[in-house]
Structures are given as C-alpha cells and as structure tokens.
Amino acid sequence: MLLKYFTPALYLKSFEDLDLNWLISRKIRLLILDIDNTLAAHDEQTAGVQAQAFVQKLKDHGIQAVVMSNNNKDRVSLFASSLDVPYYYFSTKPLKRMYKKVLRDTGLQPEQCAVIGDQLLTDILGGNRMHFVTILTTPLVSRDITWTKLNRLAENQVYRCLEQAEILKRGEYDE
C-alpha cells in the first residue's frame, strides 16, 4: 500500500510536543531535524530559544541531533551552528542519498534513527523510505517559499487520501 510511505509514526502539533521518552522507548539514538517550518519559519536565520532548548534536551537524554534541509549551505550552516549540531544541506529529500550519508557518518542503523519534519512529501516520505521512525509536525507558519507552496498542493492530495483511508486526519494529533 502506497500510503504507508506517507504515514508518520507520530503526528504532533509542534516539535515541542515530542515526548523524548517516546523516542527512548524505541531506542532512537539520532533525531534528524528539518529546519523550515519545523524548527523555525523559513525566514528566521537562527534557532530560537525553544528550538535551542529542545536540542539541548535531546543531547541531555543521549540522543544525537543533526539538521537536514533541502535549503542551501549558507542557510543550513548558520541555523545548525546556532544549535551546535552537524548539518546536511541540499539534501534532496525524499531521495535516499543524504540519509545514507547520515548513517555512514554516525555508524547507526536505520531503526536507531528518527526524522521530524512538517512535509509529507519530503520529510515523511524520505524517512519512511529509509525505514526511519517518522514524526510529522504542523507547519509553524503558513508562509512558504515558492517551491514548498507547489509541494503543498500535491501534499493536500495525499492528506485527502490518508483521511479517506482513515489513517491520518490533518489537525488530529497523536497524544
């Protein structure tokens, strides 16, 4: 069934709602973080206080964090440096290439990794293709760059299919 590739393991309103015990119980050792509209709006250059606290909490619980974005090097490196985490830019999510690089760089297995992001067609599809645990969040803001706006049109169709199949309904979050 094709819809499984677009189905997150967990659906949350915000990254701040993620219970780290949920990750720990699944033996997750690495959380791959999307930037734009997951941790910050696309026009925010650095991580805010909430994102910084979230990443510090991950580290305190022994969970590594990396930033992975389809955005350019300048954007991603500046943002990641404000969190003091490694980064991967021009990731071409949902393609597997950069996810495989993360596995090589960390020495981890797919079942030890999770992805958190706001897009079904990039973050969730990419993570599920790699057999990572996937966590979907609601976009932080409604403004998007042009490419993402186009992506959201297709994503709306996927949401409709997930809803019709009674798999996921937009706005009905997991607890």
**pLDDT tens figures, 32-61:** 999 999 999 988 999 999 999 999 999 999
Task: State the pLDDT at residue 144.
Answer: 60
Please, what is the average pLDDT of the chain? 94
According to DSSP, the β-strands at 64-68 and 87-88 are parallel
Give the model confidence (pLDDT) of 107-134 as tens digits.
999 999 999 999 999 999 999 999 999 9
Task: State the pLDDT at residue 153.
Answer: 82
Q: CATH for 2-164, among 1.10.1200.10, 2.40.70.10, 3.40.50.1000, 3.40.50.970?
A: 3.40.50.1000
